[in-house]
Amino acid sequence: MYDFCTACKIGLGGITLGGAIATGAHGSSLVHPSSISDQIVRLQIIDGMGNLREISDPQDVNAFRVNLGLLGIIVKITLAIVPLFKATVQTTLEPESILMDGTAQRWANNLDWMQMWWFPSTSNVVVLKGHYHIKLTGSKSDDYLGNATSQFIPELDPVIITTGHDAYETLEANKNRPGLYALERFTELSLHSEVIGKPPIFSEDGVNIKNPANGIAWRLMSNRCHTYCPWNNGNTSSILPEEFSVALQILNLPSAIKTIKEILEIIPTAFTMVGIFIRFSKPSDSLMAISNGHETVTLEWASPMRDNPYEDAKGGLGAYQAILQSLIKNYKGRPHWGKNGLYYFRQSILEETTSNLDKFKSYMKKFDPDGTFMNNFGKRITGSSNEMNIDPLVHHCALQEYCICSKNEDCGHFQSCNKVKGFSVCRDLADVYSDSNYDPTNLTSILYAIGAILQVED
């Protein structure tokens, strides 16, 4: 059961099984396989020489499980499946201390499905606990267990969608942090209670919340918004999220949370859309899975794109960049293949974080010796180049994570490139000036702030 990518169905023209497998799309469980890639039994592919091949050797299958589109064209996939089943889910509000004292891991170890949304500004976590029922669907069990569905990405009145879009843009343009925190609190509340302006997260009738809720498991995990969707539905008045996601060994969760809290002390930031979404994966045999070889926790968040993403930074960009860089550097965090900007897939980071790189390269040679499927991304994997395909409209490379800033021009309007905990990040000038490190009696500090305000290079 996978709760990935409900939004892709809406805004991105429809996620495919081939794409989900190539990128290692995952849901959340330490007890069951959390990725479709892990359910592959065998495949039929066309290799780089144009041969139709069956892939059933277990080692070959492990290479294809997360293949990044570099081993061949997948034409047929055989998956291990289970009969349709029901689940019970409940979301509750917990203190963030559960992330640091081992409680969250303990729960995850004992639940069929568990995921969390952490809201740093309120120090709360919404925890979703899910239990699977082996009893299959059938009229009696349907009645007994209920038929709730998720409305995580709900159908909304178009006026509400436009209002939400405009609210984000206005709050971000004005650097209105209290307003953004209010949105974060609204999101938190909507995940466990009824709120005005958004249908309940779980419901049987679409109006009244069910918490706990019972229903067919996949319908509690993902929903499909068909008409008016808050996340991009192809019109400019909805919200187009950019996503960030890093996977860590589960034992690093407590210290990673502390690191994030330290960064947010320096750059206070609201996580308005989904908080910091925390999911789990059991160890995978897939060579390139972010959960290869160890129990994994994924920390991810989404941020609405600005109306002019080529000039204006999304709120909190500096914090996002410091968090990503420190999770990768300090905890060997693995960036999710289907999310994050291209900077995070440069050779040095891949070499540092992807232990099976050489093995995967040998499979690239085996199935595509002539480089038919080679592209700039593949060249990063092989280590032959760091080139990337860049949107031609981009001229501030750090705004969409094509680079880590080295000069102020890499950042957005009214931003400068600064160091935070040793990492280069784009910060809003207003924040730099009001930084707690700023000391109006210290000449260096004053010059630093002036430099930042004039957007002079460090």
Ligand X SMILES: Cc1cc2nc3c(=O)[nH]c(=O)nc-3n(C[C@H](O)[C@H](O)[C@H](O)COP(=O)(O)OP(=O)(O)OC[C@H]3O[C@@H](n4cnc5c(N)ncnc54)[C@H](O)[C@@H]3O)c2cc1C
Stretch touching ligand X by CB under 6 A, among 66-74, 164-172, 387-395, 430-438: 66-74
Minimum distance of ligand X from residue 95's CB (angstroms): 25
Binding test (CB under 6 A) with ligand X, winner from 20, 30, 98, 209 = 20
Stretch touching ligand X by CB under 6 A, among 18-26, 208-216, 356-364, 431-439: 18-26
Q: Can you read off the two tokens belonging to residue 218?
A: 């996949």
Phi-psi region of 11 (alpha: psi -120 to 50; beta: other; left: phi over 0): alpha
CA-CA distance, 283 to 453, in Å (whole number)?
A: 47
Stretch touching ligand X by CB under 6 A, among 1-9, 107-115, 317-325, 417-425: 1-9
Stretch touching ligand X by CB under 6 A, among 17-25, 212-220, 323-331, 385-393: 17-25
Minimum distance of ligand X from residue 195's CB (angstroms): 22
Minimum distance of ligand X from residue 441's CB (angstroms): 48
H/E segment holding residue 59: helix 58-65
Which residues make Cβ contacts (< 8 Å) with residue 337, sequence separation at least 6?
22, 23, 24, 66, 68, 288, 290, 345
What are the angstrom distances between the C-alpha of 214 and each of 34, 115, 171? 20, 17, 37
Closest alpha carbon to 305 in 394, 216, 373: 394
The gap from C-alpha 120 to its chain's centroid, in whole angstroms, comes to 17
Buried b (16+ CB within 10 A) or exposed e, 85-115: bbbbbbbeebebebbbeeebbebbeebbbbb
- Give the count of alpha carbons within 13 A of 355, CB side only: 11
Residue closer to ligand X (CB basis): 44 or 103: 44
Asked if 68 is part of the footprint of ligand X (rule: CB under 6 A), the reply reads yes
What residues between 338 and 377 interact with ligand X by CB under 6 A? 338-339
What are the angstrom distances between the C-alpha of 372 and each of 1, 23, 68, 347, 357? 34, 19, 14, 21, 19
| Cβ(92)–Cβ(84) below 8 Å | no
Binding test (CB under 6 A) with ligand X, winner from 22, 266, 273, 429 = 22
Stretch touching ligand X by CB under 6 A, among 16-24, 118-126, 167-175, 321-329: 16-24
Stretch touching ligand X by CB under 6 A, among 13-21, 132-140, 197-205, 262-270: 13-21
Minimum distance of ligand X from residue 443's CB (angstroms): 48
| Cβ(328)–Cβ(320) below 8 Å | no
Stretch touching ligand X by CB under 6 A, among 67-75, 172-180, 256-264, 414-422: 67-75
CA-CA distance, 150 to 154, in Å (whole number)?
A: 8
Binding test (CB under 6 A) with ligand X, winner from 66, 74, 180, 267 = 74
Residue closer to ligand X (CB basis): 243 or 352: 243
Residue closer to ligand X (CB basis): 13 or 178: 13
- The size of the interface with ligand X (CB under 6 A), counted in residues, is 22
H/E segment holding residue 253: helix 253-266
Closest alpha carbon to 62 in 94, 45, 37, 80: 37
Residue in the structure block whose two tokens are 């950019």: 242
Binding test (CB under 6 A) with ligand X, winner from 1, 9, 23, 412 = 23
Minimum distance of ligand X from residue 359's CB (angstroms): 19
Stretch touching ligand X by CB under 6 A, among 20-28, 55-63, 362-370, 437-445: 20-28
Residue in the structure block whose two tokens are 């019109």: 235
Minimum distance of ligand X from residue 35's CB (angstroms): 7
CA-CA distance, 295 to 58, in Å (whole number)?
A: 21
Binding test (CB under 6 A) with ligand X, winner from 18, 268, 293, 383 = 18
Asked if 19 is part of the footprint of ligand X (rule: CB under 6 A), the reply reads yes
Asked if 66 is part of the footprint of ligand X (rule: CB under 6 A), the reply reads no
What residues between 301 and 340 interact with ligand X by CB under 6 A? 338-339
Asked if 65 is part of the footprint of ligand X (rule: CB under 6 A), the reply reads no
Asked if 55 is part of the footprint of ligand X (rule: CB under 6 A), the reply reads no
Binding test (CB under 6 A) with ligand X, winner from 26, 210, 282, 380 = 26
Asked if 212 is part of the footprint of ligand X (rule: CB under 6 A), the reply reads no
Minimum distance of ligand X from residue 363's CB (angstroms): 13
State the burial class of residue 65 (Cβ atoms within 10 Å of its Cβ: 0-12, 13-18, 19+). Answer: buried
Asked if 165 is part of the footprint of ligand X (rule: CB under 6 A), the reply reads no
* CA torsion through residues 53, 54, 60, 64, sign: positive
Asked if 4 is part of the footprint of ligand X (rule: CB under 6 A), the reply reads yes
Asked if 16 is part of the footprint of ligand X (rule: CB under 6 A), the reply reads yes
* Angle between helix 357-367 and helix 58-65 axes, rounded to 10 deg: 110
Asked if 182 is part of the footprint of ligand X (rule: CB under 6 A), the reply reads no
Binding test (CB under 6 A) with ligand X, winner from 32, 44, 61, 73 = 73
User: Which residues would be at the binding site for ligand X (CB under 6 A)?
Assistant: 3-5, 7-8, 12, 15-16, 18-20, 22-23, 25-26, 68-69, 73-74, 243, 338-339
